Amino acid sequence: MLIVDLVQSIVDGLLFGATYALIGIGFTLVFGVMHKINMAYAAASVGGAYAALRLITLIGGPAWASLLIAAAVGGLFGLLIYWLCFRFIPLSNPLATLMSTVGMFLLAEEIIVHTTDGMPQNYPVVVRGILDLGEFMIRGDLVFVFACALLAMVILLYLLYRTKLGMATRAVSQQPIAAQLVGIRLSHVNALTFVVTGMLGGFAGALIGSAVGLLSPLLVVPLTIKGLIVTVIGGLGSIPGAIIAGLLVGMAENVFQYFRGVTERDIYVMLLLFVFLVFRPGGIFSSTVKRD
Amino acid sequence: MLELQNLSKYFGGVRAVDSLSLKIEPGQIFGLIGPNGSGKSTTVNLITGLLGVTNGSIRLSGEEITRLPTHVRLSSGIARTFQNIRLFGQLTVWQNLWVAENSRAQRERTSFLARWLGGESGARARITKALEFSGLSHKANELAANLAFGEQRRLELARAMAAEPKLLLLDEPAAGMNAEEIGALDERIRQIRDSGITVLLIEHHMELIMAIADRIAVLNFGQKIAEGTPAEVQANPAVREAYLGTAETSTRGTA
């Protein structure tokens, strides 16, 4: 039953794609506010999930608590990255922060490999069970992941569009010079953006861990690449774009996997990136917003 | 109110502002004029802290502010508008003013969280009033980017006023306006002065500046070449030369 399996792949992929959307939002939000790429973002997100795993095995507690711990640690890592890679580095030099975050990416990956001896570790599963719908079935853990990611997005969008803090963040991204002149401290907004995106990332890392059932150091590079792909497809700086692109990449990945197997799928996901770069370089929602 | 002492800004070998000294008295409309590239906008950027000074000092109400970061200067009472409009284009008119309320909270030292999460005391009333003052009440929910040019200028002025400054810097507020709009601007700037705010006005529109400025300084190649009442400045031969251009200056552009 090709068509049934295909639909099944698409649905599973869409649900899991919500985690890619979160990672994409993280990349895109930092870009929107600072016009910088934080290459260490996905590595720190996985790091947050690992730290949560460590803590939860150490002190015990329900599996869902690991998600919240990962978010908290992720926020801390975000602040750390801001301080180490951005705060004291000349932002006018486009390469400086790129290099500092690539360095941080390598460092984070090294720490993860070192502390885990490079071995995958089991991650506590929060929701089990499968919803049987006749020919189709829906994995409970994927629905849970999707719902959690959706909740995180709603909270983020509320913060950005309905609070004054979000308004200030958007003001900085649209017009940083005028933002300073209405008394907004750029360094505060920047740091806060890193904390919020770090929390999203840690949360996403833990969601991925709980859906896959394990965490592996091998997650770092593919997650970085997929986060960047989502960001490009969605359009740099566009949050709705990152959400749609995340779901799209999750779906495409699963469809490619269905047709070509798990070892080949990422090749096609990469090809998808080039298709977008050639035919729609501005992403799905080509942003007309400019700043000077 | 504002005192510049031997203020200089060099970009490499270019002396954009060269040993400029000015004293602006409280309650004045002080005009700063000069040909293109004479250092007017650089001076405003030095006063607001967007550029660092090379030499000299800036004092606001006797207090040294030369090295203070921009957002601190703002809370000490300086606000400005831009020659090329810098609104938050994807925020609504209302939200542009709402964000600007921040500067007030900063001056009143409201705590960080209270400032950003709540702290709405009186803000609604103030914004409503500012919208009425600038004639934008009916556009409150429009995105700033969608406003007509003149409306954008008015919104920028309203945003600067939301900081409740002691000193307002206006960088070519009449640029691109028609005669009717300039008339309204003239009236508005006088109202601002009469409400006790000192105004530093940079303008190319001579009719406007000669009509409303209490005192005028003229810059040319970063140096002050004249200062006085509008009548004195108009009679000054050095000013005529700078504006009409000699063989040397005409290639570098005139107003």
* Least confident interval from A59-63, A90-94, B119-123: B119-123
Does domain A2-279 fall under CATH 3.40.720? My reply is: no
A188 Cα to chain B: minimum distance (Å): 10
> How far is Cα B39 from Cα B34, in angstroms, rounded to an integer?
8
Among A270, A181, A180, A202, which Cα is nearest to A232's? Answer: A270
| Residue B250 in this model has a pLDDT that exceeds 50 | no
Listed in order, strand segments (DSSP E) in B70-134 are 78-80
Listed by number, the residues of chain B in 29-48 with a beta carbon closer than 8 Å to a beta carbon of chain A are 48
Superfamily holding B1-77+165-255: P-loop containing nucleotide triphosphate hydrolases (3.40.50.300)
Give which of A92, A159, A164 to mutate to test B binding, by max B Cβ within 10 Å: A164
Q: What is the pLDDT of residue B199?
A: 94
What predicted TM-score, i.e. pTM, was given to this entire model? 0.84
With an 8 Å Cβ cutoff, are B71 and A174 in contact?
Answer: no
Q: What percent of chain A clears pLDDT 90, i.e. is strictly above it?
A: 60
Average pLDDT over residues B9-15: 87
Tokens linked to B110: 């409201």
> How far is Cα B37 from Cα A285, in angstroms, rounded to an integer?
39
Where in chain A are the domains?
2-279
A168 Cα to chain B: minimum distance (Å): 6
Amino acid occupying residue B251: T
Instruction: Order the strands of the B2-11 sheet from edge to edge.
Output: B14-24, B2-11, B55-60, B63-64
Confidence of residue A289 (pLDDT cuts 50, 70, 90): very low
Rounded to two decimals, the ipTM of the complex is 0.76
For the stretch A99-113, pLDDT in tens is 999 999 999 999 999
Q: What is the pLDDT of residue B110?
A: 57
| Residue A281 in this model has a pLDDT that exceeds 50 | yes
Is residue A230 a contact partner of residue A242, using CB atoms and an 8 Å limit?
A: yes
> How far is Cα B184 from Cα B190, in angstroms, rounded to an integer?
10
| Residue A287 in this model has a pLDDT that exceeds 70 | no
For the stretch A22-37, pLDDT in tens is 999 999 999 999 999 9
Nearest CA in chain B to A185: B71
Residues recorded for chain A:
292
Burial class (CB in 10 A: 0-12, 13-18, 19+), B169: buried
For the stretch A209-248, pLDDT in tens is 999 888 999 899 999 999 999 999 999 888 999 999 999 9
Confidence of residue B106 (pLDDT cuts 50, 70, 90): low
If you compute the radius of gyration of chain A from its CA atoms, what whole number of angstroms results? 19
Nearest to A181 among B80, B84, B115 (CB): B80
Where in chain B are the domains?
1-77+165-255, 88-162
- The residues, any chain, with a CB within 8 Å of residue B114's CB and separated by 6 or more, are B105
Burial class (CB in 10 A: 0-12, 13-18, 19+), A27: buried
> How far is Cα A37 from Cα A47, in angstroms, rounded to an integer?
18
Confidence of residue B164 (pLDDT cuts 50, 70, 90): confident
| Residue A286 in this model has a pLDDT that exceeds 70 | no
Among B198, B247, B236, B188, which Cα is nearest to B34's? Answer: B236
